[in-house]
Structure 1
Amino acid sequence: MSASIPAGRSVSVVVPATTANLGPGFDTLGMALTMYDDVTVSTRDEPGVRVEVHGVGADELPTDESHLVAASLMYSLQSWGVEIPGMDIVATNHIPQGRGLGSSGAAIVAGVLAAKGLAEGLVEVSDSELLRIATEQEGHPDNIAPALFGGLTIAWMTPEGPRSTKLTVHRGVSLLVAIADQSQMSTRLARSLHPETVPHEDAIFNLSRAALLIAALLDSPELLPEATEDRLHQNYRASAMPETSALIAALRERGFAAVVSGAGPSILVLCSDPGQRVDAEALIATHGGASWQCHALTVDQRGATVEALPGFAH
């Protein structure tokens, strides 16, 4: 028999944006950023799901159970043998949609954590189960792991499911995210541009850079420009994001560790100190072509959180 969530339970979930790949760490490395979506979910006696969206995507995102937070929440409850209650969901979005900052991963994580919070006392959900159920929906864990756990994460797949480990970034590393005002890129489209095989030397090149990138982010930020070189995915996607590619080339020519953030078209610049971040932002402001919004961010260390709101029914 399925467990039932009482009416009158409310939880609040906060989920960070994420940036994946970081150059050479394709489908493996991810980082949580200090930019957040906020979701509140309340249960009621009346069946059905109502969604209210504020902020980014308020005019475009669905307001029924097809909304990604709602779909993830229901999927998680069903997987855990919990009946789906009537729900009101209020999503306040700050993470840009389709810009390579983990908006879909954040929505999925929000749904999974809301499900865990609402089902308190009915099911026990471990961190590994959170990672599993969220990755099952997203398809890969590189954005899911940092969204859940914060920090710099390395994620990998095993026959038993996804795994991840969390690392602490050197305090000298400063982050700058440049978001294109208009262009979007779906992860599916970005992946369709990759060849089925890559040259052996390119694989070795990326292995060396990915290993070097961990050393740079943890201990030696001065190595970031070399450590963020990539031959596995960015060049193949360049034709679909010409303005992104042009700006990255301009930044790297000046010695900045600039990479595509996730599937793009946003750009992540990993700076070795705050002064370098200021210089990178100044270069972006004078670069021709697209208009870019720059955000000086830091690494989010907490990851997603869920808490019961006052009056939580038991």
Structure 2
Amino acid sequence: MSKWRITVPGSTANLGPGFDSIGLGLALYLTLDVSLQDEWEIIHLDSNGPSDFTIDEHLLYKIAKKTAELYQATLPACRVEMASELPLARGLGSSAAVIVAGIELANQVCELQLSTQDKLDLSSAIEGHPDNATASVLGGLTISSMQTEDTTDTLHINGIDAAFVVYIPDVELKTADARSVLPEKLARSYAVTASANANMLAASLMAKDFERAGRYMELDKFHEPYRATLIPNFAAIKKTAKEYGAYGTALSGAGPTMISLVPTEGAEAFAEKMQQAFPKHQVILTKADEHGIRVN
């Protein structure tokens, strides 16, 4: 092959208390059209990418080059057209999607024959935590633990038959900034409750008991209490979404985007009412991606 289309789902992470462990692939996509040519060229087809960059600085190129070198291969020059439904620094896994795409680009053009586990391990190691990365590789719900810096163990569940509504404000929040407000230590009793809530969230999602999952989405103790002041309309969105019938609402990753788990029946009307209530946010109705990364 000399041309490839690589499609990577965006993702939401944590879903409340599943901090740095739970991820969900969303039907919002990063798409790359890749072809070989004499010199590198990366073209962004929308505003969801850097506007001013050199090839050497571009995350996609850096990850593809790093992956090729890791497997003792030489990365050929490519023309890449990138289209993204994932706004930057909003908590929808935009950087993880580019990392996964860069690994797949190198895998295809260098014929590396990477396994799914290779992709999970490498993307999680580069990202530093497995939630968004594993969800972009696999789609669906992922519950993961990094066993070492280089190995990730992931439980993957598809068939998450619920709707999700995201609320994207017109502000960025870098993950590093969102992490800077988190405490270094938690009291034992506090941590036990926080861990129990995360366990119940994971179990409820696996059982597809979405009403219960929604309750635990709103019982995080690891990060949301500390990040809430950084998020536009945090309390108002949670309160209004609950009044309109959401199972639960939480930060998407580190924020500033928030996400509601809602029943599929009536989801369009719910999204329309939330858009009217919060006109300064971009409100998008979506669902779980069922495929993960695809190449054709």
The letter for the 1-side match of 2:163 is S
Whether the 8 Å CA contact 1:216–1:223 is kept in 2: the answer is: yes
- Partner SS for 2:191: helix
2:145 corresponds in structure 1 to 156
User: Is contact 2:271–2:284 with CA below 8 Å preserved after alignment?
Assistant: no
> Partner of 2:289 in structure 1?
300
Task: Give SS of 1:231's match.
Answer: coil
1:36-66 CA deviation, whole Å, 9 max, x = no partner?
111122223x3x4221111133562525232
- Normalised TM-score (structure 1): 0.86
Q: Of 179, 187, 210, which aligns to 2:175?
A: 187
Shift of 1:276: 5.6
Distance 1:126 1:61 in 2: 34
In structure 2, the CA distance between the partners of 1:221 and 1:136, relative to structure 1 (3 Å rule), is closer
Which AA in structure 1 matches 2:228? A
Please give the alpha-carbon distance, in whole angstroms, between the structure 2 residues aligned to 1:255 and 1:29: 23
RMSD: 2.1
1:32 equivalent in structure 2: 25
CA distance in 1, matches of 2:293, 2:62: 18
In 2 relative to 1, CA 169–207 (structure 1 residues): closer, same or farther, beyond 3 Å?
Answer: farther
Question: 1:3 is matched with which residue?
Answer: none
Moved over 6 A (4+): none
Which residue in the other structure is 2:99 paired with? Answer: 108
Alpha-carbon distance between aligned partners in 2 of 1:32 and 1:189, rounded to the nearest angstrom: 24
Q: Distance in 2 between matches of 1:199 and 1:272?
A: 36
Q: Describe the shift of the 1:302–1:156 C-alpha distance in structure 2 as closer, same or farther (beyond 3 A).
A: same
Post-superposition CA distance 1:92-145 (Å, at most 9, x none): 12211111000000001111011111122xx33111111122122211111000
Q: In 2 relative to 1, CA 169–196 (structure 1 residues): closer, same or farther, beyond 3 Å?
A: farther
Name the counterpart of 2:203. 215
**Which one has a bigger Cα radius of gyration?**
1
Structure 1 Cα separation of the partners of residues 241 and 49 of structure 2: 33
- Quote the Cα distance in structure 1 between the aligned partners of 2:52 and 2:13: 23
Deviation for aligned residue 1:12: 1.4
Preserved CA contact (<8 Å) 2:10 2:26: yes
Q: Is 1:95 paired with 2:86?
A: yes
Q: Which runs of 5+ in 2 are unaligned?
A: none
**Per-residue deviation at 1:85?**
1.6
